[in-house]
Amino acid sequence: MGAAAGLAALVPVYYLTEAGAKALRMGTAAAGPAPAGLACLAAVAVLVAVLTVWPAAALTCGVPLISAGALFALDTEAALGMAATLPWSGVLWHGLPAAELAEPPGTLAGLTGLYTLIGALLVLSALLPRRLRSILSG
pLDDT for 54-77, tens place per residue?
899 999 999 999 999 999 999 989
Report yes or no: 88 and 99 within 8 Å, Cβ to Cβ. yes
- Domain residue limits, the chain: 2-132
Q: How far apart are the first and last CA of the chain?
A: 20
DSSP H stretches of helix in 30-104: 35-51, 55-74, 76-84
Closest CA to 10 of 85, 122, 126: 122
pLDDT of 96 reads 63
* Mean pLDDT, range 80-100, rounded to an integer: 68
pLDDT of 104 reads 80
pTM of the shown model = 0.83
Round the average pLDDT of the chain to a whole number and report it.
Answer: 85
